[in-house]
A and B are shown apart, each in its own frame.
Chain A
């Protein structure tokens, strides 16, 4: 009886809450609905999100980490761009990460992250992402959440149909958007047609440590290879690339590359090509591309220039490459969780074209070809077509899948997400996006095992979604609940840079193994001061090497004399903390570089070239402790002809 009384009281309380909502309801359009949406995205203080989401940074060159459903950003992982926040690309250890055949490139345009898989399911070891502008692929550890490796892709330009992985992470695949002369040479642009090549690169991934190696490059006709996805399940062993500009126009592409009614999806049997090259097939070609590897124990990256690449002429491997005609300059190329259906999102049309893998195999078996392009067989459109989604939308770009046999496609022009049924091709639901959506992401939505709880739509246009911030704004993203028959818009949040694609996974896949500190006893940095007894200052000609340590709340040493104008001072600083979330920073007045942010157990190096005699202070940039303000020191700089001996001290 008592219980009932209490629940009656609760009901009464709720009624009051609703009643008071109703009073204010005039200002918000759908009070009750948005309050239930609010509950769904509310992660209370101290609670944690259910999913990780990794959004590419686009022109930021980096990768951002978010939580879903809250839309809170946790970290920006520097990948292709210098990052003064941590010193990435500024410290001596990380400068080699941004080395390329063009020299040091401090920026890129990051596009398509993809989490490593085992048997077609997310395994959470690494995440890969492509640099579009200066073709590169990066591998990021999902234990340290730091970039561990970057490999440049030769013979490529506009590394866009990248970086997608095969279902056991055998390869990370990178396709060129621009066709270019291979090898590069001085020639007339007008001679593009028939002469330029489109390189599709298969980069093997070592299952032990993730190390990448460019295994072979398939030199395809000079189309533009837009996006790609791996076959999975039954179609494992194949890779699919959308193409545009099969016209091979070299100018005013918006018109000249939009003339053919159909372009192609290129179907690549990479297992067949792998076998071909393993048996000595292919042609070695001189090349020059950088391979940059960060060693977690030396905390240092090294850059090696590679001088050769194995190329494969697709016409030399019969049965390995076919073209599937696909209408209207298809953009996204997406494969459903079963591996049976290949979706071509024809961006200039209203419809989606879905090809059947089984029908494709049957057509290949029956040799029913509709001619060829540069010696590559073209299959008949009708023979491979599984169905078309008559969406009523405009400008389909990308498709992701849930775990209930549904697909979700973004429409850029009509600015919406359309849900449709795989197999029957019927449209089930559509919801607007704000505005002009590019990619969308369902955690695991591009694997054999999607987690069909949320979809994130990443938009290209923001306009009035947030408080205005002048002409330049962050992009907007929307979060929808897709657990029911109809999609429900839950939340809208700004994203950093310009997210293209994203990848997500359940929190429990990564959270328990996220690294807390670097172990000091595993620090193999050649300039590390592992104990305070190792701290010292050494002169080698005009180079001065400071072996410094830091712990709450002081540097050892913190007074240095004997440095002269014209010296190049290397501060090699080791953080002696072994406690979670106690980084220290380092900054020197007037230094022509960024600060360093040094994690517990880590060593980083900063270079300073003092130009003026004086006594110059340095300090810790991270509010590390109650005595953070006291964490500071001085370097005395004397004229170049001074004969003051090097000396250093702490606390005397």
Chain B
């Protein structure tokens, strides 16, 4: 049983490798004049357009409201750090799984990895949200269109972290993408590994 749990613990972190291929997150922007919505896929190493020229076109629209250009990979430390963190966590998770397989560590390490990964994930989301707040509110004072809320405060263009929001003429939808779902599945596997391992140790005791 502990072997089975360890195998799950080896496989789970490997799902995170999907983040190198698939986007973590996706934001779509639809509007009356964009029946085919513009979209951006957020990868761990940068932002890409859903269609080839979407980034250029989003930047083109954003310049009216004074938003900065969307960051290139070299513009944000996150895009060089995240791949290393993910790689490190995959390696660590697989190592814990292997050690568990050969009985060198207990199943509690599996949960430890999950908690660490969760903390990192929450930090990542916090960072992502902070960037969006900055990006959506820290606007060019000479912007072409300076819009205000009914209470007179400047309008913010921060996209939603999760779900849908109406921003001017755009419907903005922000959801996890394939890489994000794979990460979720991988992390859940490590939780399963923990419980299977726990059951195994209880059976032995």
Contact = CB atoms under 8 A, between A and B. Distances in A.
Interface in B46-66: 52-53, 56-57, 60, 64
A538 to B, nearest CB: 28
Interface in A504-543: 517
A579 B64 contact: no
B204 interface: no
B4 to A, nearest CB: 49
Contacts of A580: 36
Contacts of A551: 60
Contacts of B64: 626-627
B203 interface: no
A579 B36 CA distance: 11
Given A551-B60, A552-B60, A627-B64, A579 B53 contact: yes
A518 to B, nearest CB: 12
A579 B34 CA distance: 10
Contact of B56 (A578, A626, A627): A578
Given A626-B64, A627-B64, A579 B57 contact: yes
Contact of A627 (B36, B53, B57, B144): B144
A517 B52 CA distance: 12
A551 B145 CA distance: 17
Contact of A578 (B36, B53, B144, B145): B53
Interface string A456-473: 000000000000000000
Nearest to B144: A627
Interface in A615-635: 626-627
Nearest to B38: A579
Contacts of A552: 60
Contacts of A517: 53
A256 B64 CA distance: 72
Interface residues of A, number: 9
A357 B144 CA distance: 72
Interface string A575-592: 001111000000000000
Contacts of B57: 578-579
The bracket for how many chain B residues form the interface is under 10
A577 B60 CA distance: 9
A581 to B, nearest CB: 9
B52, B53, B56, B144: most-surrounded residue (chain A CB, <10 A)? B53
Contacts of B52: 578
A626 B60 CA distance: 13
A343 B64 CA distance: 63
Interface in A539-564: 551-552
Contacts of B53: 517, 578-579
Contacts of A578: 52-53, 56-57
Nearest to A578: B53
A414 to B, nearest CB: 47
Nearest to B35: A46
Contacts of B144: 627
Contacts of B56: 578-579
B29 to A, nearest CB: 13
Interface in A342-356: none
Interface string A487-508: 0000000000000000000000
A627 B36 CA distance: 23
Contacts of B145: 626
A246 B152 CA distance: 86
A580 B52 CA distance: 12
Contacts of B36: 580
Nearest to B63: A552
A46 to B, nearest CB: 9
B73 to A, nearest CB: 20
Interface string B111-154: 00000000000000000000000000000000011000000000
A517 B56 CA distance: 14
B108 to A, nearest CB: 54
B52 to A, nearest CB: 8
Interface in B35-49: 36
Nearest to B61: A552
A579 B60 CA distance: 10
A384 to B, nearest CB: 56
B141 to A, nearest CB: 15
Interface of A: 517, 551-552, 577-580, 626-627
15 contacts: A517-B53, A552-B60, A577-B60, A578-B52, A578-B53, A578-B56, A578-B57, A579-B53, A579-B56, A579-B57, A580-B36, A626-B64, A626-B145, A627-B64, A627-B144
Interface of B: 36, 52-53, 56-57, 60, 64, 144-145
Closest 7 CB pairs of A and B: A578-B53, A579-B57, A578-B56, A552-B60, A627-B144, A579-B53, A551-B60
Given A517-B53, A579-B57, 15 more contacts: A551-B60, A552-B60, A577-B60, A578-B52, A578-B53, A578-B56, A578-B57, A579-B53, A579-B56, A579-B60, A580-B36, A626-B64, A626-B145, A627-B64, A627-B144
